[in-house]
């Protein structure tokens, strides 16, 4: 199912110069892209999300997932620019949970949050842009370091009971109720939310998809 999206919080800094499709069901990505003032359609990808391949670097995995999702949607929009993304949480040096995706259930969410508690981890968002007439999509990844406070098991259980972690990579939402879990962020905040807005706007502008809005 597709739907058009028109930003409702003011005109924003940019305008869309050609057809743009966001290949994601994430309301957070939709809001972040809309914050630029862009008009676009939303078409979630139905591509499967396989686990990382043996020896595959986390950034390479995030880019591969973003590419897979973008190409899946681009097949439906051959004349439009399609933007896809995939966000993962990585706990460096931990052999049992290198890449944390969305939790399978409440117990899995507690496992993930317990691993992250009191430690630094990386949030990596792979992004991919499929442009009409271009033989290959443009893919990149942005990494942000997040340092979590040491939380008690009771605090984590209470947070999980709110239901917020259910569809979040790493089982928390920095922009939501899970903000209390985070001690500090080093790098792009919007990347942790799900879309590195600065990098995405730069690449969309470099290909002439968006342009600063005229006053």
Torsion angle, alpha carbons of 197, 201, 203, 208, to 10: 160
- In the chain, the number of structural domains is 1
CB-CB contact of 43 with 81 (8 Å) = no
Q: CATH no. for residue 61?
A: 3.90.950.10
- Give the pLDDT score at 101: 87
Calpha distance 137→74 (Å, rounded): 10
What is the pLDDT averaged over residues 91-106? 80
Q: Is 122 helix (H, G, I), strand (E, B) or coil?
A: strand
* Range with lowest mean pLDDT among 6-15, 165-174, 179-188: 6-15
- Give the pLDDT score at 161: 98
* pTM exceeds 0.85 for this model: yes
Q: Is 12 helix (H, G, I), strand (E, B) or coil?
A: coil
**6 pLDDT exceeds 60?**
no
- Domain housing 49: 3-212
User: Is the pLDDT higher at 133 or at 66?
Assistant: 66
Bridge partners (DSSP) listed for residue 126:
86, 141
Catalytic residues: 86
What is the pLDDT averaged over residues 36-45? 95
Q: Is 210 helix (H, G, I), strand (E, B) or coil?
A: strand
């Amino acid at each position: 199912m597709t739907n058009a999206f028109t930003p409702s919080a003011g005109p924003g800094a940019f305008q869309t110069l050609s057809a743009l499709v966001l290949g994601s069901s994430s309301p957070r990505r939709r809001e972040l892209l809309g914050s630029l003032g862009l008009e676009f359609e939303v078409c979630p990808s139905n591509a499967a999300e396989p686990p990382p391949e043996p020896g595959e670097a986390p950034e390479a995995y995030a880019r591969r997932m973003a590419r897979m999702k973008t190409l899946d949607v681009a097949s439906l929009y051959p004349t439009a620019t399609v933007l896809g993304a995939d966000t993962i949480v990585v706990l460096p040096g931990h052999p049992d949970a290198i890449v944390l995706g969305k939790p399978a259930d409440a117990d899995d969410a507690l496992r993930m949050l317990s691993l992250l508690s009191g430690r630094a981890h990386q949030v990596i968002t792979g992004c991919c842009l499929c442009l009409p007439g271009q033989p290959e999509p443009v893919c990149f990844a942005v990494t942000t370091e997040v340092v979590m406070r040491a939380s008690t098991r009771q605090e984590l259980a209470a947070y999980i009971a709110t239901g917020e972690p259910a569809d979040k990579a790493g089982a928390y939402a920095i922009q939501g109720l899970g903000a209390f879990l985070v001690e500090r962020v080093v790098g792009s905040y919007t990347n942790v939310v799900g879309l590195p807005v600065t990098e995405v706007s730069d690449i969309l502008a470099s290909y002439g998809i968006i342009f600063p809005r005229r006053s």
